[in-house]
Amino acid sequence: MAAAARVIAAHGLGAPTALIAEEAGVSNGSLFTYFDTKADLLNQLYLDLKAESAFTSLKGLPLRADLRKQTFHMWSQSMGWAAQNPEKRRALAQLNVSDEITPTSRATGHKTMKPIASLLERIRAKGPMRDAPMGYVVAIMNAVGDTTADFMIHDPSNANKHCKMGFDALWRMLV
């Protein structure tokens, strides 16, 4: 999975499985011992990256804290994962828009993000985005997150500052 993420980040979804196998240090035929098709590999990678991202975002969530502190914790963890794993982030971004990802995989991926969506629902309940579709709210959060992660990656000495600024912008939009 790590090799697949690296290759997709560098070469896109059209990268041949032979390149993924080479990066993993296995024969191309061996790759198909584990996955029937390239689409199966891509779907599994999508699910693994979604699960890793969600787990990291929610790890250590202070459940007794107020919504702002909980959300900042989730945001900081998520941005930290994105900044520390730029290849996985790029691979997941490509997989998110891929026609190869099945509806079943998408539904499973959304389930892993359910605790994050639940937190967003509670935040926006009385704010200016309360009537906006959740997909729209998530798209805005992702856009701010992508910008924040880019700045954290390209200016690591100010990563914490960028993380805080991104959160403050998101928070103002939501509440």
Q: What is the pTM (predicted TM-score) of this model?
A: 0.92
Residue pLDDT, tens place only, 139-164: 999 999 999 999 999 999 999 999 99
Residue pLDDT, tens place only, 34-58: 899 999 999 999 999 999 999 999 9
The mean predicted confidence, pLDDT, of the chain is 95
- pLDDT for res 13: 96
User: 126 falls in which pLDDT band (50, 70, 90)?
Assistant: confident
CATH architecture of 37-174: Orthogonal Bundle (1.10)
Residue pLDDT, tens place only, 8-33: 999 999 999 999 999 999 998 888 88
Return the domain boundaries, the chain. Answer: 37-174
- pLDDT for res 65: 96
The per-residue DSSP string of the chain comes to -HHHHHHHHHH-TT--HHHHHHHHTS-HHHHHHH-SSHHHHHHHHHHHHHHHHHHHHHTT--TTS-HHHHHHHHHHHHHHHHHH-HHHHHHHHHHHT-TTS-HHHHHHHHHHTHHHHHHHHHHHTTSTTTTS-HHHHHHHHHHHHHHHHHHHHH-GGGHHHHHHHHHHHHHHHH-
